[in-house]
Amino acid sequence: MSSITHKNVSVEKITTSKIDQVDFSNLVFGKQFTDHMFECDYIDGSWQNPTIKPFGNITLSPAAKVFHYGQAVFEGMKAYKDDDNKVWLFRPLENFKRINKSSVRLAIPEFPEDFFLEGLETILNLDKDWIKKGEGNSLYIRPFVIATESGVAAAPALEYKFMILLSPVQAYYKGEVKVVIAQSFSRAADGGVGAVKAAGNYAAQFYPTNLAKEQGFEQVIWTDANEHKYLEEAGTMNVFFRINDTLITAPNNDRILDGITRKSVISLAELKGISVEVRRITVTELIEASKNGSLKEIFGSGTAAVISPVSAFSYDQKVYNLPKVDDSNRFSTLFKTKLMDIQYNRSEDPFHWRHEVK
């Protein structure tokens, strides 16, 4: 294992890559990891010793606060390879800002920008052979922070670990999904942590999502916790509704994640001259629109799936099917294509979202 130090980040390289053992045509999302990982510890009041090392297990005290109080936040990003083997990130500073926003909400110390960018670019350079060219192929990047201090007193930890893992992925395409509109469970509440990527937000979705799956649906559309009247998110994604030719999505508030794909879709729609309404939308309005034929599409937006179209939704045990819109007329197809063309460096980048990893 050789060891070198960049400006801030020290690097311990693997001796033998495991890349040849991986079947890149048969990847399960988030199961396979690259050769290296980035790690940095918060000790004695500062983030120190940012290191890239061979991917492997970490050792923690069973009393580490992350296990007891869920003091953990994460991000999801992707790196893409273009036809000339250049590596690109999509709006990486947005993820950096959001992980710190998430950290602040969970009383975790913010991570320094130079460590983040240097760590990310260095590990991507080391493991760039794991990024495969071609439609849908990318490297899913998982930065996260956990409270590592040992002790079960219910107070913020004094020690943390920030890590970045890289996982080669293929297109997340699962076809269209059928969803249930939540009538009793909630994803987030006023004043809670719904607007940030707290790990517990996702754990809390598993049980209601399992119940939806038992009824033959794939995901839940989350409604507001007070009245279950307003449509807020879909599964782990933000959600968009197309009524006639207007795109509607819920406004950001402390229950809704400030999704990077969400805001990119809004910008692209505005650029295309599509009418966008960022406003609250009720279940009643959705059902009315479905009944009178003006509801054309529902789709989720997120890093993993990019855009995920919905084929049907259920409410009060009644199923409402979305109309079959021709692919060439679908907003979901339009935005997915536009986003991926920018991400894979196949088109102009009017908003300067692409960032080349050099």
308 belongs to the binding site for ligand COI (CB under 6 A): no
76 belongs to the binding site for ligand COI (CB under 6 A): yes
Which among 4-12, 13-21, 271-279, 300-308 is the span making contact with ligand COI, rule CB under 6 A? 300-308
Among 103, 303, 314, 332, binds ligand COI (CB under 6 A): 303
236 belongs to the binding site for ligand COI (CB under 6 A): yes
304 belongs to the binding site for ligand COI (CB under 6 A): yes
Location of structure tokens 């260095």: 122
Tell the smallest beta-carbon distance from residue 129 to ligand COI (Å). 23
Among 302, 315, 332, 340, binds ligand COI (CB under 6 A): 302
Minimal CB distance to ligand COI: which residue? 302
Which CB sits closer to ligand COI, 187 or 296?
187
55 belongs to the binding site for ligand COI (CB under 6 A): no
- CA distances 248 to 147, 213, 232, Å, are 38, 26, 11
Which CB sits closer to ligand COI, 47 or 240?
240
Tell the smallest beta-carbon distance from residue 236 to ligand COI (Å). 4
Which CB sits closer to ligand COI, 247 or 305?
305
Tell the smallest beta-carbon distance from residue 232 to ligand COI (Å). 15
Which CB sits closer to ligand COI, 233 or 297?
233
24 belongs to the binding site for ligand COI (CB under 6 A): no
- Cβ-based neighbours of 291, under 8 Å, separated by 6 or more: none
Which CB sits closer to ligand COI, 74 or 115?
74
Which CB sits closer to ligand COI, 289 or 307?
307
202 belongs to the binding site for ligand COI (CB under 6 A): yes
92 belongs to the binding site for ligand COI (CB under 6 A): no
Which CB sits closer to ligand COI, 27 or 43?
27
The β-bridge relationship of strands 177-181 and 306-315 is: parallel
Tell the smallest beta-carbon distance from residue 142 to ligand COI (Å). 8
Under the rule (CB under 6 A), what is the footprint of ligand COI? 76, 202, 236-237, 302-305
